[in-house]
Structure 1
Amino acid sequence: MDTANICSVFRRLALEAGAEIMKVYNAEEMGVRSKADESPVTIADETADKLIFAGLTAALPDIPVVTEEQAASHDLKAATFIIVDPLDGTKEFIQRRGDFTVNIALVVDGVPTRGVVYAPAKNRLFYTDAEGRTVEEKGAFDLDTPGETTPLKVRDADNTALVVVASKSHRDAATDEYINKYEVADSTSAGSSLKFCLVAAGEADLYPRLGRTMEWDTAAGDAVLRGAGGAVVRFDDHTPLTYGKPGYENPFFIAYAPDVALKPA
């Protein structure tokens, strides 16, 4: 498998999709409607989905693709596949809060091994390189030529003064109850898969998610965190979170830096 090419394709498509998303973000009309599950979707979601799917199938035709916005892809059963959330954090996007991302990941035997998370409104681009190591690219982004990158590594967590990041739109009493089991020096909120990236960048230590998510919500952020030395485990038994599950639905999970002494559920 040509991982260098895969990573290059992921990066370019994320940037291209981000540019299209920002056109809608800055427009007066977003074309918001509700999907069958009553979650919101916009013109930006659909445009980015079509762009990414077409780009992936053209550049990487031998790897099947699962994407949030194409229900027919949700019946795929494959050991190796690409999984896409063209616009994660649609609620933040609609409210023009900036915490939304483009997410593309490669899953091999249940593990997200390569991924890109692009937050176009925040000008932050995180991805794994050909060797699976995570970097953040700085500055203006050229489609074909990566700019300066900074290798990312989770920080050495101080269990007497942890920094916790939680969902901006989905934080609830159960999440707060779990967070209160830790000695927390600071707590912050973020939308979309940016929470994984904050742990990967050493800006937070712990991200617990006690709520419904799908694999396309988490795979790219999971890959980014793993490539920085972090981990994502199930909330109930602390075993690794795996991908390719029936229906692509996740259990509750915890993303963290390995020095964090995890508390029981």
Structure 2
Amino acid sequence: MNYSELTTVMRRLALEAGEKIMEIYNSDDFEVMVKSDDSPVTVADQAADALISDGLRAAFPDTALVTEEQADSHDVTAKTFLIVDPLDGTKEFIKRRGDFTVNIALVEDGVPTRGVVYAPAKGRMFYTDSVGNSVEEAGPFDLETRGETKPIKVTAPKNDSLMVVASKSHRDQATDDYIAKYDVKDMTSAGSSLKFCLVATGEADLYPRLGRTMEWDTAAGHAVLNGAGGRVVRFDDHTALAYGKEGFANPFFIAYAPGVDLKEG
């Protein structure tokens, strides 16, 4: 894999998909449908998926591709694959709350090694560079020319005053009970994979997720957090969260900055 080319292509496709998503987001109305698992899907999900899939297949025809909107055609045997959630945070999109993202990632031997997370309504873009270090690019964004970037790194957490980020749409009592095990200075909520990015930039120290997610929901954010020095582990045994699982479903997990004294569930 040519990582420099991959970074360029992922960034460009994320921007193009974000532009298409925002056209629909800013329209007077858009259709909301329900998938077989009862989750919502919009024409924005479908348009972004088609755009990104076509672009990745053209650029990397020999690399397996997994996308949320084409779940029935996935190759579960590939060790290296691209994985896409074209619009993560559909519920936030429908409610016009802005906390949705475009997510594209590369997984190699179970590990997300490269990724881009673009929040078009927030004007924030995070991605791994050609050597795997994570950066945030400042807008306004141009398709062909990268703007100013700054390296992002997790902060050294203080266990007596942690910053915690949790889901905006999927918060529950079990999550609150687990967070209560920590000495929390402050909490924030965010939608979609932005939560990984807030840990990656040092705006939060800990993100526990005690709920259903799929690998396409988490791979890009996980890659960005990895590239910023962070970690993502299973909730049950604190081993590394791996990818390429049958069915692509994740267990509960914890994303955090090293130095956080993880508590048992």
Counterpart residue number, 1:237: 237
**TM-score, normalized by length of structure 1?**
0.99
Q: Which amino acid aligns with 1:186?
A: D
Residue 116 of structure 1 aligns with an amino acid whose one-letter code is V
Structure-2-length-normalised TM-score: 0.99
2:98 maps to: 98
The aligned amino acid for 2:189 is S
Q: Is the 8 A contact 2:76 2:246 kept in 1?
A: no
Q: Which residue of 2 aligns with 1:163?
A: 163
Identify the residue that residue 185 of structure 1 maps to in structure 2: 185
Q: What is the alpha-carbon distance in structure 2 between the residues aligned to residue 225 and residue 258 of structure 1?
A: 11
Contact 1:74 1:247 in 2 (8 A): no
Cα deviation digits, residues 32-58 of structure 1 (max 9, x gap): 110111100000000000000000000
CA positional deviation for 1:259: 1.1
**1:22 alignment partner in structure 2:** 22
RMSD: 0.7
Q: 1:145 aligns to what? A: 145
1:222-233 to structure 2, matched below 5 A, reads 222-233=222-233
Distance 1:109 1:121 in 2: 33
Cα distance in 2 between the residues matched to 1:18 and 1:213:
22
- Structure 2: which amino acid aligns with 1:258? P
Specify the alignment match of 1:199 in structure 2: 199
Aligned residue identity for 1:28: D
- For the residues of structure 2 that align with 1:29 and 1:243, how far apart are their CA atoms? 36
**Contact 1:65–1:73 (CA<8 Å) still a contact in 2?**
no
Conserved 8 A contact 2:153-2:200: yes
Alpha-carbon distance, 1:74 to partner: 3.0
The percent of aligned pairs where both chains have the same amino acid is: 71
Unpaired segments of 5 or more residues in structure 2? none
Question: Aligned equivalents of 2:75 and 2:174: distance in 1?
Answer: 32
Contact 1:74/1:248 (<8 A) preserved: no
Q: Which residue number corresponds to residue 123 of structure 2?
A: 123
Following superposition of structure 1 onto structure 2, how do residues 203-214 of structure 1 map, counting pairs within 5 Å? 203-214=203-214
1:248 aligns with 2:227: no
User: Paired residues, what number?
Assistant: 265
Structure 1 unpaired stretches of 5+ = none
CA contact (8 A) 2:64 2:75 kept: no
Please tell me whether the aligned partners of residues 125 and 136 of structure 2 are also in contact (alpha carbons under 8 angstroms): yes
Residues 104-159 of structure 1 deviation map (CA, whole Å, 9 limit, x = unaligned):
00000000000000000000000000000000000211111111001000001000
Shift of 1:75: 4.3
Deviant stretches of 4+, over 4 Å: none
Contact 2:76 2:245 in 1 (8 A): no
Residue 10, structure 1, aligned to residue 48, structure 2 = no
Quote the Cα distance in structure 2 between the aligned partners of 1:239 and 1:249: 16
Deviation at 1:72, TM superposition (A): 2.6
Name 2:33's counterpart in structure 1: 33
SS in 2 for 1:147: coil
Residue 58 of structure 2 corresponds to residue 58 of structure 1: yes
